Amino acid sequence: MLGRRMALGLGAGLLGGMPAARAQQAQPHHGIPIPQDRMAPLRGDGPVVLTPAQYAQRFVESPAPAGPPGRWLQRAPLPLPRTEMAWAAVANDRLWVIGGYAEQRVNNSYNHVYDPATDSWAEKARIPRGANHVGVVGFNGRIYAFGGFSNQNRDADELAFVYDIADDRWERIAPMPRPRAAGALAVVNGRIHHIGGASNPDSERASVGWHEVYDPQADRWERRKALPGARDHAGVVVNNNLIHIVGGRFNTFEYNTGLHHVYDAAADQWTTRAPLPTPRSGHGLVAYRGRFFAMGGESGWWENNQLTGRVHGQMESYDPVSDTWQSHAPMPTPRHGMGAVVIGDFIYVAGGGPVVGGGIKTAVHEAFTLG
């Protein structure tokens, strides 16, 4: 097993200093093999062994011009395999992973926190009800959690909670005006914007462009101008008080998009910017060194009644000044539905699914830096 702090080689034919022939045997497709103890099936006990067809789902080529490659490092794996948390929160210089698929349940309530200073995980108070695709964001020493699905990408609710980090305690807050999950959360001027996502009914699970804003001081919601391209599983970052919504899907991962919309809260208006070079959904998006970095995600389709597609490992970054994209060293372990945050000079990417769909969970945790 590779050491946790060992740099992962990213050359076309190399892993570390491994000769090309041996690397090809160990890596039938891009990226490193996943240890069995870091994978678990959604249903059943396992163990999980990825097939050649599943490894072949890994997709890392980017049409964007090459930028500085950067490098990836292994970090302490999650305490147990998890996926479909939607996103992670960063607060108090720690990574928080809440809800999602874990231990044969799609509505788990785990709250794991990672401390990069010690490269270690701890379990904290669980969210009061389990769900997947919960929207989470850290703000003023608290973590806010909105909505989620109680079934597998189905049965959205309107529940809202706040977690006090110092007290390790959750409490309910004013529910959202409408039920949804897989939306994007962003904080601007002390208000939490909840944008896009997917809602009910199950038979018509569809993306929404809803844009609702929560005031933590007043414990109250209000509506703002809707996202022009209704979608869910999109990436979100804030830059200069502007909210960027990038990528995502129209209803299902068969209809991914690279759309890049920008919201100006002062004007209550949306505009468009250069699209994500590789359309995908369930990816991470973070602001790092003045750029936005998008990693991971999935694209799916059906062939002969079998689900297949691509698990994205592309690392692409956007410059908000020049409105252009470039590519960097791809993820060693392509995944989707993982948690991604920036702490210090590293992008931490924890958990996620290594195959299309939610059938397999991982505890893989890797970090990227431009060095």
The answer to whether residue 238 scores a pLDDT higher than 50 is: yes
The answer to whether residue 20 scores a pLDDT higher than 60 is: no
Length of the chain measured in residues? 371
Instruction: Note whether residue 232 is domain-resident.
Output: yes
Instruction: Note whether residue 42 is domain-resident.
Output: yes
Instruction: Note whether residue 154 is domain-resident.
Output: yes
pLDDT for residue 234: 98
Burial (CB count within 10 angstroms: exposed 0-12, middle 13-18, buried 19+), residue 371? exposed
Instruction: Note whether residue 1 is domain-resident.
Output: no
Q: What is the CATH number of the domain that holds 73?
A: 2.120.10.80
Query: Between β-strands 220-223 and 211-215, what pairing exists: parallel, antiparallel or unpaired?
Result: antiparallel
Cβ neighbours, 10 Å, residue 177: 14
Domain that holds residue 241: 7-369
Into how many domains does the chain fold?
1
Instruction: Note whether residue 2 is domain-resident.
Output: no
Question: pLDDT digit string (tens) for 153-173?
Answer: 899 999 999 999 999 999 999
What percent of the chain is modeled with pLDDT above 90?
Answer: 86
Beta-ladder partners of 134: 86
Instruction: Note whether residue 264 is domain-resident.
Output: yes
Question: pLDDT digit string (tens) for 61-87?
Answer: 999 999 999 999 999 999 999 999 978
Is the model more confident about 307 or about 183? Answer: 183
Is the model more confident about 89 or about 44? Answer: 89
Structure tokens belonging to residue 65: 């011009």
The answer to whether residue 7 scores a pLDDT higher than 70 is: no
- DSSP assigned state of 126: P
